Amino acid sequence: MKNKILLILFIGLSTYTFAQAPVKPGIRAGLSSTTMRGDAVNNLSELLDFTNGMVKTSSRTGFYAGGYVNVPLDNTLSFEPGLYYTQKGYQLKGELNIKGLEFLGANAKAQLQSQYLDIPLLLKANVGGFQIFVGPQFSYLMKADLRTTAGVLGFSLLDKKLDATSQFNRWDAGVTGGIGFNLSKNINVTASYDYGSQKVDANKNVSAYNSGFKIGIGVGF
């Protein structure tokens, strides 16, 4: 995986060198809403020994921020590699059977809080201020925590965080794509969808994949 990333970055740098128009760096930040496709509950079965089997997943809302470099290829197309810190994960809700706190039932929650570095390599088309972009994305997992909380009548009775990093692959890969619009010469807004294609389980025994939406605003320099 590392060799593939180095090769793609080398191609990107080569594109840089031969670009005829000025290269334009920028920064972008916004909100992320992520979850997992597939059997996400079983993905943490070893850690979630308190689950009772009646559990559903929902998305986790976080944020992302980082920088990009836009390399024009012609009047319409450009190549745009980026590097972003992104919060990902998902939330488990349902009938949780927590040892010693069985009476809490559905008031308990478990949330996977993951922190990734995303490296999208986008091909972007710009037509009249509107943008369409797509490309591969490689991601490196910096840390993953499992947070469990429970309470009743407004009182918190449980708030525990467990390091779950070892349960997941450090590297992830997939495809990202979306649309954008230039609000001005240097300011743009984007909406994209990330579709993970690699199993996140460290042993690759569970069919669980990252996916999610991002909405952000970018500033070019």
Strand partners, 109: 149
Structural domain containing residue 69: 2-220
Domain count, the chain: 1
| Secondary structure class of 50 (helix, strand, coil) | coil
pTM surpassing 0.85?
Answer: no
Q: How many CB atoms lie within 10 A of CB 140?
A: 16
Read off the pLDDT of residues 147-201 as tens digits, 9 standing for 90 and up: 887 766 556 667 888 899 998 999 999 999 999 999 998 999 999 999 999 999 8
Tell me the CB-side half-sphere exposure of residue 136, using CA atoms within 13 A. 11
Read off the pLDDT of residues 106-129 as tens digits, 9 standing for 90 and up: 567 788 999 999 999 999 999 988
* Residue 84, domain CATH: 2.40.160.20
Distance CA 166, CA 175 (A): 24
Residues 6 or more apart in contact with residue 189 via CB below 8 angstroms: 180, 181, 183, 215, 216, 217, 218
Copy the structure tokens of residue 210: 């990252």
